Structure 1
Amino acid sequence: MNEKEFETLFKQYKKDIYRIAYTYVNNEADALVIVQESAYQAYISKDKIRDKNKFKSWILNITVNKSKDLLRKNKLISLEDLSNVNTMQAENKESVNIFMENLKALSMDEKNVIVFKVYVESIREKNSGRISFW
């Protein structure tokens, strides 16, 4: 993949990359750091990707890994630190507290599934009026 192709594809998916990073760290500054690190890692490894159709899943996988690295580094689990009721679209704070208690019992892989579910649902809600076949 040449530099121009990389730049075009990265620009196409940069919002998705940011959303994934932000979903993990729940912090704009950290999410931007993750986006930057993901872009750098992808750029130096761009010759490894042969199929441009797999770029999105490849770059999002890098983003997930960079997000996990930052969480480990800072010894944070952003999912356990959610306090914004609107983020989880819960009806009340008690629902969030129950959700958070149950979340603590999950493995990191199980938490990842929930992060992706929240991400997909947010995309669906955002695009619900524009994509009729979703």
Structure 2
Amino acid sequence: MNQTELAKRAIAGDEDSFTLLIEERRESVYRMAYTYVRNKEDALEIVQEAVYRAFISVHKLRQPQYFNTWLTRIAVNCALDYIRKSKKVVYMDKEHEGSYTQAGRDDALDLLEALEQLDEKSKTVLMLRYFEDLTIKEVAEVLNTPISSVKSIIYRGLEKLKVNLGEREFLG
């Protein structure tokens, strides 16, 4: 059964179909949440909240073919809500430190620090585009923003990142 059919069933109240859809997207939602908070426990909490919010409102989804976009939007909003509520300082998770070479770890930390300096909209757009590998059209759908605006945000965000990183080349 394809994703749209599963989404139609989930909208109609089939919990098993909803569970299958969530299982397909679980890793992607976790990665996105982790990119925001850099902490396993916090990311899992965000995923849990996103799944809960999706479950209680799936019946409101009007276009089943956009289930992934809809779920991603919920997850982004949960991550932003979590950050606003917690006002935590974001640190790199110790568990992942060994997975980088020293130079790679330094570059990753520099990029994360530079991302943290961006405004919320730029950070979200760049994370969805480059960390989640969404197309510009998909980013526009997730954020309910015109494609032209997403392109402008990407351009300005990358320019700010270049400045924040001291004119290093990155992201192609």
Matches within 5 A, 1:53-132: 53-76=65-88, 78=90, 81-82=91-92, 91=104, 93=106, 96-97=109-110, 99=111, 102-116=114-128, 117-120=130-133
Q: 1:103 to 1:53 in 2, by over 3 A?
A: same
- TM-superposed CA distance for 1:104, in Å, is 4.8
Task: Please say which structure displays the higher CA radius of gyration.
Answer: 2
Aligned equivalents of 1:112 and 1:90: distance in 2? 26
Q: Which has the higher contact order (CA 8 A, sep 6+)?
A: 1
Aligned equivalents of 1:120 and 1:90: distance in 2? 24
**Alignment RMSD:** 2.9
Q: 1:48 to 1:107 in 2, by over 3 A?
A: same
TM-score by length of 1: 0.70
Could you report, residue by residue, the CA deviation over 1:54-100 in whole angstroms, capped at 9, with x for unpaired residues? 1111111111111111111111363xx4485967x964627844x45
Aligned equivalents of 2:44 and 2:87: distance in 1? 18
Could you report, residue by residue, the CA deviation over 1:38-64 in whole angstroms, capped at 9, with x for unpaired residues? 111111101111322111111111111
TM-score by length of 2: 0.57
The count of residues paired between Structure 1 and Structure 2 equals: 117
Q: Are 1:85 and 1:93, in contact at CA under 8 Å, matched by a contact in 2?
A: no
Q: Does 1:47 align with 2:35?
A: no
Q: Are 1:71 and 1:77, in contact at CA under 8 Å, matched by a contact in 2?
A: no
Q: Are 1:23 and 1:115, in contact at CA under 8 Å, matched by a contact in 2?
A: yes
Aligned equivalents of 1:118 and 1:86: distance in 2? 17
Q: Are 1:35 and 1:63, in contact at CA under 8 Å, matched by a contact in 2?
A: yes
Aligned to 1:12: 24
What stretches of structure 1 of length at least 5 have no aligned partner? 122-134
Matches within 5 A, 1:30-41: 30-41=42-53
Aligned equivalents of 2:98 and 2:125: distance in 1? 20
Q: Detail structure 1 runs of 4+ shifted over 3 Å in the superposition.
A: 81-87, 89-92, 94-97, 99-105
